Amino acid sequence: MSERAIVLTSGGLDSATVLAMAHAAGRECYALSFDYGQRHRAELLAAERVAASIPGTVHKVVSLDLRSIGGSALTDDAIDVPTTPTEGIPVTYVPARNTVFLSIALGWAEVVQASEIYVGVNAVDYSGYPDCRPAFIQAFQNLAAVATKEGVEGSPVAICTPIITMSKADIIRQGTALGVDYSLTVSCYQADETGAACGRCDSCRLRREGFEAAGVADPTRYF
């Protein structure tokens, strides 16, 4: 039987690529998405489409209320999504989001006996988020070794970050080679109900530049 892997699946370009990479590596994929109070549900619908495009994938959506603590343009409507590049950690950073997501993924991994968690963090073409860095992933790997039954019994769940050192263009090339249909994905921080993108936020900019650099046609719909 193939190894099982939890794959954090947001509905965006990066996580769609990572899901395809895990599947290509022979993993039995358990896609995990979060309804955490984000600005729009279009990305959750995209996650559902992406998971359905990978044969045999189990998809689960966990509900959280990160909007109750706010602190981010993605969970507080009073904070505008910036449409020009900013210095430092941007207001689209959601406090502790990846820590929370990985913790729940770690729990589900123990339940379904998955040996790996795949997450699409990236330290090259990223927005300055502290929880997308190799140092964070290593720290969480250390936590997994001491905070779980599997870890203390000598078989900690491995945190896999296959795109962490890849450029956006390289991610798109890799996904294209694996047959990823990027028209299924939504990356925009403020997409409309249909999933159409604003074309102005940081995520839209990185996505558009990635397709241009990769020499791949951009299937993104803009409003």
Please write the tens of the pLDDT for every residue from 141-194.
999 999 999 999 999 999 999 999 999 999 999 999 999 999 999 999 999 999
> Could you give the angle at which helices 202-214 and 168-177 cross, rounded to 10 degrees?
60
All domains in the chain, ordered by first residue = 4-214 (3.40.50.620)
Question: Which pLDDT score, from 0 to 100, does residue 85 have?
Answer: 82
User: How far is residue 43's CA from residue 144's CA, in Å, rounded to a whole number?
Assistant: 28
- In contact, 9 and 50? CB cutoff 8 Å: yes
Helical spans, DSSP H, in 27-167: 42-52, 97-112, 134-147, 149-152
- In contact, 13 and 187? CB cutoff 8 Å: yes
Q: Alpha carbon 223 to chain centroid distance?
A: 23
Question: Which pLDDT score, from 0 to 100, does residue 204 have?
Answer: 96
Q: Please give the helix or strand (H or E) that residue 29 lies within, else none.
A: strand 28-35
Question: Which pLDDT score, from 0 to 100, does residue 187 have?
Answer: 97
Question: Which pLDDT score, from 0 to 100, does residue 148 have?
Answer: 95
Can you tell me the mean pLDDT for 26-36?
98
Question: Which pLDDT score, from 0 to 100, does residue 81 have?
Answer: 96
